[in-house]
């Protein structure tokens, strides 16, 4: 698996989706102290076979298989496989993988398709998500 981080910039909507997940995982947004991420794979949802293969790789925790999905440009509806490390107040960090539907359309919202615990996560560099005001947002 490639250890080079993929440059991926999350929209406010995508950040909200990830923060909502982290808050549910640890109990509240106020408890979230940090979120690290690494993009595992990206696929065009219009390519049903490839998108399904990315989902199968994530469910099987086949990190190398997920990394073979590298769709990036010119796609309106992405499926993004992300490794998340959620740090919470008075809890050890916990790793998850999530599959986020990430639409390009302004009026359409990002949503999690599926997720799971990342047992034996790959040794990859994590980037920090900006959590400005995360504790001030809705719980």
Q: Which tens digits make up the pLDDT trace of 48-68?
A: 999 999 999 999 999 999 999
Per-residue model confidence as pLDDT tens digits over 87-118 = 998 889 999 999 999 877 666 789 999 999 99
Is pLDDT above 60 for 12? yes
Q: What are phi and psi of 2, to 5 degrees?
A: -65, 135
| pLDDT(4) > 70 | no
* Average pLDDT taken over every residue of the chain: 86
* Residue 79 scores a pLDDT above 90: yes
Query: For the whole model, what pTM was predicted?
Result: 0.85
* pLDDT at residue number 139: 39
| Residue 100 Cα distances to 72, 75, 85, 95, angstroms | 14, 14, 15, 16
């Amino acid at each position: 698996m490639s250890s080079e981080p993929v440059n991926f910039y999350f929209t406010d909507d995508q950040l909200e989706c990830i923060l909502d997940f982290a808050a549910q995982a640890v109990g509240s947004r106020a408890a979230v102290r940090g979120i690290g991420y690494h993009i595992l794979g990206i696929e065009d949802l219009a390519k049903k076979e490839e998108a399904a293969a990315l989902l199968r790789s994530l469910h099987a925790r086949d990190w190398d298989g997920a990394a073979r999905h590298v769709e990036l440009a010119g796609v309106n509806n992405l499926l993004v496989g992300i490794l998340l490390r959620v740090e919470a107040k008075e809890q050890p960090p916990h790793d998850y993988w999530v599959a986020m539907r990430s639409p390009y359309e302004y009026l359409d919202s990002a949503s999690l398709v599926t997720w799971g615990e990342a047992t034996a996560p790959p040794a990859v560099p994590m980037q920090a998500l900006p959590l400005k005001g995360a504790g001030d947002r809705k719980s």
